[in-house]
Amino acid sequence: DVKVTQSSRYLVKRTGEKVFLECVQDMDHENMFWYRQDPGLGLRLIYFSYDVKMKEKGDIPEGYSVSREKKERFSLILESASTNQTSMYLCASSLTKGGGAPGGETQYFGPGTRLLVL
Amino acid sequence: KQEVTQIPAALSVPEGENLVLNCSFTDSAIYNLQWFRQDPGKGLTSLLLIQSSQREQTSGRLNASLDKSSGRSTLYIAASQPGDSATYLCAFHGGSQGNLIFGKGTKLSVKP
């Protein structure tokens, strides 16, 4: 079974703090993704990565950065947290580089981190 | 840009009913679609994946279909149970990059 874990289930931070959200997958997946989920807006892609030290912007990268130093770990960084970054953050992974050949493949999600920025 | 719509936004049914959740998309150039379940405050659990060359997939009481020509997918749940209560999300792989494009979900409540 694929397992995707996230470092915290709940996190409370203050405006201006630097925040690290960690995600680890144990199935040697190539691709990793960070989404945020907000009521009425659904899930939106922040950043993704196809390989170690590689990153690509998603739909809403502003205010975020990422790091992938090891294949199994993908970190989301809020350089200076703001109240509008209060959200549920979901990490996902999938097996093959580039998401696989046309046809795609299953993405596996972690349990989520609910972040509150005060 | 691909847009994904799920109707209805919420649905309440009595236990035992068969039900259909709908998902529509604007761009037929999709690679596949994936149906997820999300329990309150939790992450997403993958239910079914339909490749673009397939028409449907089944898993237990769940059946998902894909009609690219009409831009629709449906998730059929047979003999619904209270444990099926959750939000159901559909998502499409819209390109070679592997990222998913999500609908906003249908919140299902199955009453005992």
For residues B80 and A103, the model is more confident at: B80
Query: A interface mutation test: which of B30, B32, B42, B44 has the most A CBs within 10 A?
Result: B44
pLDDT tens sequence across A18-64: 999 999 999 888 889 999 999 889 899 999 998 888 898 988 999 99
Largest pairwise CA distance in chain B: 43
Three-state DSSP at B82 gives helix
Find, in chain A, the residue whose alpha carbon is nearest to that of B51: A103
Q: How far is CA A107 from the centre of its chain?
A: 12
Find, in chain B, the residue whose alpha carbon is nearest to that of A100: B98
Shortest CA distance to A6 belongs to which of A37, A52, A51?
A37
Among the partner residues A43, A50, A110, nearest to B102 by beta-carbon distance: A43
Among the partner residues A42, A112, A114, nearest to B103 by beta-carbon distance: A42
pLDDT tens sequence across B9-67: 999 999 999 999 999 988 777 778 899 999 988 889 999 998 888 899 999 999 999 99
- Specify the amino acid at residue A80: S
Q: How far apart are CA A31 and CA B37, in angstroms?
A: 21
Helix (H) or strand (E) holding A11: strand A10-13
Beta-sheet pairing, B19-25 with B72-77: antiparallel
